[in-house]
Every structure is written in C-alpha cells, then in structure tokens.
Amino acid sequence: MSIKKTESTSLQRSDLKQFTNARVALRTSGVSLCTEELLAFKLAHACAVDAVWTEWDRTKISYELTLLGIESILLESEAGSRMRYVKNPLSGCRVNEQSHQLIQLCKNKNAISIILADGLSPIAAQEQGSKLIDCLVEELRSLSMNIHPIFICSNGRVAIGDSIGETTKSKIAIVIIGERPGLTTPQSLGMYITLNPTAASTNANRNCISNIHEEGLSIEQASNECKQLIEKMLKYNISGYQLHSK
C-alpha cells in the first residue's frame, strides 16, 4: 500500500514540470540530488550573478528606439558605478545633477514618463527593453496623452521614476526595469506604474506587472495590462494598493 502511494505521489510531482520551469520534482540519488540537477543549479546561479554585473549598452537601445521612431534621453543615477549601485540601493533612486538638468526640459502635466532602467538585470533590459517600449507606446496612443522621450537610466532603481515624474510633472510614471534574477530566468523585466508621482511616493502608491520574459508574461500581454491599469488609475484618480478595491 505504501509503495502505491509513493508511486502516485511521484507521478503527481513529475506532472508539475509541464506547468512550470521552477525546480520541482528534482531527481535524486539516495538522499542527494543527481549530479545533473546539481550542475544545472550551479549554472543557473552563475547566470543570475552574471545578469547582475553585466554592463548594458544603453546607446544601442537608444539607437534601436530611434529606428522605431521613438526619441530617448540617456540618464545616470547618483550611483555612478555598478559596485556602488549594488552596495547602496538608495544611490539608484535619484538621477545625478547633469541628468536632472536634462529632464527639467521635459515638462507636461498631462504626459506619461517611461523610464527604462537596467536594475538588477541589465541583460533583461538590453534584450527586451526596446521591444517592450515599442509595444507599450503603441498601446498607450489610445489614451490621448503625451509621452515624453523615453528616459534610459543607468544604475536605476524603481523609485527613480518618482523623482523623474515629479520633475517632469508627469501624470503617470512607468518604470521598466530588469528584475532581480532568479534561478529559472535571469532575463525578466518588471513594470511599475505610478499616478501623480512625487519624491514622496512609496511602493504602496504604485502597481507592478512582473515576470515579463519569453517563458512568462509576454510583451504584448504586459503592454495591454499596463494600459488597462492606467485607464483605471485615471478613472478613480488613485494608484497602488487602493486600486485593487475598485
């Protein structure tokens, strides 16, 4: 009886693999993982580390956007270096003085600011950034709102959209950022949307769309979901956790 139960449990766990690329139903040898599973884990960990420390080519992204007819502006956070960005998260929450002067030239009270930041996975921003922005801009055209030039910010955190949004007096700030890499994919993007962003905004004031990558949420789905969230924000004049009750 116990053998049948074990076999049944084993089959059920194996079936999970067709629904997820997470580490479930790992093969073992005695009480230890099989060598193949252990090596796969170490490879995934190495890819995650590489994703954090890889430098992106933001000039290339800007050029890709230009080919799509989308203007962009290159910015830098106060971090100044990748090492400081990782060790001091707050340094990635504000742009440096030179970048601040650039964004001061872009002010419009009924506009959307889209910020692409490398975050903790520059690889994700490099590979998917221009594609997602192209699809998102197309979706947002139906909102009849101006869209500022895309801000491409090195060593930026999610909160950098708050200060940029306040300076540009934007109605909506959208931060597209490389998400912290996990052990299933190092190339996931997240989008954080805030209504009436200011330097005083917190995580409670924004809504998140995450897991945007080839095996997760598609670029098309994420762009459409973002537009729907913004429509709801504009309707109720709120964003963040309060929006979920509407």
For 79-122, the DSSP string reads T-SHHHHHH-GGGGSSB-HHHHHHHTT---TTEEEEEEE-TT-H
The CATH code that applies to domain 53-245 is 3.40.50.11240
- In this prediction, residue 183 has a pLDDT band, given cuts at 50, 70 and 90, of low
Angle at 78 between CA 162 and CA 100, to 5 degrees: 60
* Predicted local confidence at residue 63, as pLDDT: 97
- In this prediction, residue 2 has a pLDDT band, given cuts at 50, 70 and 90, of very low
Average pLDDT over residues 14-20: 67
Q: Give the number of other Cβ atoms within 10 Å of residue 174's Cβ.
A: 27
Structure confidence by residue, pLDDT tens digits, 138-176 = 999 999 899 999 999 999 999 999 999 999 999 999 999
Tokens of 62: 């800007």
- In this prediction, residue 110 has a pLDDT band, given cuts at 50, 70 and 90, of confident
Q: Is the pLDDT of residue 13 over 70?
A: no
Give the predicted TM-score (pTM) of the model: 0.85
* Predicted local confidence at residue 12, as pLDDT: 64
Tokens of 136: 């998102």
Report the range of poorest mean pLDDT among 30-39, 61-70, 88-97.
30-39
Whole-number Å distance between alpha carbons of 164 and 55: 23
Tokens of 116: 């692409």
* Predicted local confidence at residue 20, as pLDDT: 67
CA atoms within 13 A on the CB side of 140: 24
| H-helix or E-strand spanning residue 78 | none
Average pLDDT over residues 12-35: 72
Residue length of the chain: 246
- In this prediction, residue 185 has a pLDDT band, given cuts at 50, 70 and 90, of confident
For 25-76, the DSSP string reads S--EETTEE-HHHHHHHHHHHHHHHHHHHPPP-HHHHHHHHHHTT--EEEEE
Q: Is the pLDDT of residue 67 over 50?
A: yes
